[in-house]
A and B are shown apart, each in its own frame.
Chain A
């Protein structure tokens, strides 16, 4: 039985320039259900969400809310109608406090001034609803880790009393524990009769959450079905329009290679507490564990970003200085870091694709102080071909690319430096299935070609599928190293959590 649609779109189209972002889309969602929207990057999901949330206006088509035709000239109008969207990019003000952010659009007022106490109370309530009582409402957002910020974002959205809640990749930065909290909250909201639209690239999340699924491809609505009527492979097939086999490339069967880079007792402030790790050429070593256990700090420390790091790093037996990214990329081992946030750390969005691709290898492309146009062109061309980056013109701003292609640019710019050690900080966050698979394959190819890869991911499936070894971190140290068959979801979660009650004296 189909419940009557709560919000429906008919024949909606949207063009950006000559590109059809949405073509003739019919779409409907109902109350009391969680509706997953699936599709590769560029399939039109975000545009659909933006139209529903009033951020952009459709070129054609009409929308009805509970049977009445509606038009949203702006997000505020959509909010008033009870449609609230949590976007993929966080929309918090980093310098304001959590409470300021949560009540940003309508702060509680007293005598015309903002009532700080009421604001704090309201924020505490909302944070408690998403299960994050531990977040201090007076903390600055900039001081919170990414996953906490995302929870604040969700609390902020709930504060607007939504009838239709849209989550666009809202869990992409969350830790497993937070994802559980979000699940529980979503089921609770569903029971209260909310309509929930859920965009995610993580198949297991959709399997756990959704009642119905809609697949989009190239701006068209391909199919809507009830969960359980399609297999995972069929769904992926619908999304990419072709059959795919084996999500991860096979791991090579071989003895463990000799260590290339050896990390001894690395410590930094209270975030790293004596990390010891080694990795050889040809190895993909995963970093697991809950979010915020020092994985990111470890990568940043190796890349010379952090000040005051203690401990030693040796490459082929010789000590390496960790003074700056510049030293890291041109030192004893050529290092490369694909940072956590590609939009603010990995890329310069307003500069061209070509400029971004050349950014890390300017020194190699120069003759004296002058940049060689010929060499630059060659490097850019090679990078685009090697990574199969889909672009119009290399002179276009990199911001015009889809998320997956942007991430390819970040990786390509580092491959152009010929790195020996590649540090990957959650490189597949917010990327479509097809590109993810290309990245997995690329990682394996790079390893086979002699690179040493340290790979941090918040997605357990990836760690299991990609890594030769996984080191699980807890409280700034490595508590367990898993190999071969031992790398499974059970062990990963167990070693990430188990430690809370009973700390292993591994590196006492």
Chain B
């Protein structure tokens, strides 16, 4: 019989299920801007939130998170997770500043790629659950960096090129970091929608066994996805070091959870297999704006955390309704 597996949802509207979270998140972004503007109109009589200068500033700050989230999304689509992001990012930043000169950026990216490849080997070939393996790698990288710096803040500085990429604005308007983020985004979109790799990532995330029996080299795909995620974290580390002119302990810590939240708010299924990159993009913007507006509203830290967490849970509740996970 036809309708045995899932009870079909009522049809009739032509909105694809994948579009819903994207539209919803975008609506929420507008809501945040409206509420924030309403607040500033009442208290200051102006609307700084709607000025292009402010929005570009937010996008610049959001670039670092956006790049991390772009890489992480590839891994989450597989049904895995990369918890090594914080110290992959930090290690890349520290090694890039330590090497300095023209090799700073290649070394930073290389460190990220290397950690990603090790993660990928562990998850794909050794079959260690990614949550454990990447958590372990995070600790290993942290230990290596503490050994490298002796536990002190490194004295080295970011190179001019790193600072240019992170801070400079083309024509004094468009942040270069935003362009880097857009370039990474374009790459991820192409991978996900136009390549066999992307198709294989979705297939594995939905049902790895069926993908394997279709003759897809599943281990290779997992390895590549983790490598890309590591490289993205490395790139974010290089930029972030440029932004703050130096690398420092714990610089990656505030990126892991917001990046996961951005991916998931954007509609990517945390169990893998479903999600569009546009959603992740909107998810990053949502998180950056939410943080910013809450701080403009002078919300105390405790309240910010509560609202931040509640919003994430609420959005997931909205998406989760009506969707069935079929065995």
Q: Which residues from chain A sit less than 8 Å from chain B, CB to CB? A: 16-18, 21, 41-47, 56, 87-89, 168, 303, 305, 324-326, 328-330, 337, 339, 343-351, 355, 358-360, 362-363, 365-366, 369-371, 399-403, 405, 413, 417
Contact = CB atoms under 8 A, between A and B. Distances in A.
Given A56-B7, A349-B5, A329 B203 contact: no
B26 to A, nearest CB: 23
A339 B197 CA distance: 24
Given A17-B8, A363-B196, A370-B194, A348 B1 contact: no
Contact of A362 (B2, B200, B273): B200
Interface residues of B, number: 35
B149 interface: no
Q: Which 8 A-B residue pairings sit nearest by Cβ, starting from the closest?
A: A46-B1, A402-B2, A329-B215, A17-B11, A42-B2, A362-B196, A348-B206, A360-B214
B213 A401 contact: no
Nearest to A363: B196
B1 A45 contact: yes
A344 B326 CA distance: 10
A48 B276 CA distance: 37
Contact of B194 (A324, A326, A346, A371): A371
Interface in B74-104: none
Contact of B4 (A46, A325, A328, A417): A46
Contact of B196 (A56, A89, A344, A366): A366
Contact of B214 (A18, A44, A47, A325): A325
B3 A47 contact: yes
B206 A344 contact: no
B197 A369 contact: yes
B216 A359 contact: yes
A328 B194 CA distance: 26
Contact of B1 (A326, A329, A403): A403
11 contacts: A46-B4, A305-B213, A344-B327, A348-B207, A348-B211, A359-B199, A359-B210, A366-B195, A369-B197, A371-B195, A399-B5
Contacts of B160: none
A337 B209 CA distance: 13
Contacts of A351: 202-203, 206, 273
Given A362-B200, A370-B194, A399-B6, A347 B1 contact: no
B300 interface: no
Given A46-B4, A370-B195, A401-B2, 6 more contacts: A56-B7, A349-B5, A351-B202, A359-B216, A363-B196, A371-B195
Interface of B: 1-8, 10-12, 194-200, 202-203, 206-207, 209-217, 273-274, 326-327
A349 B11 contact: no
Contacts of B326: 349-350, 399
A341 to B, nearest CB: 9
A395 to B, nearest CB: 9
Contacts of A326: 215-217
B216 A350 contact: no
B206 A350 contact: yes
A339 B209 CA distance: 11
A89 B214 contact: no
A467 to B, nearest CB: 24
Most A CB within 10 A of own CB, among B195, B202, B214, B327? B214
B6 A344 contact: no
B215 A360 contact: yes
A88 B216 CA distance: 29
Contacts of A56: 7
B207 to A, nearest CB: 5
A42 to B, nearest CB: 4
A413 B5 contact: no
B206 A403 contact: no
A138 B190 CA distance: 50
A350 B8 contact: no
Given A325-B215, A360-B215, A348 B8 contact: no
Given A345-B210, A347-B210, A18 B11 contact: yes
Contacts of B274: 350
Contacts of B211: 348, 359
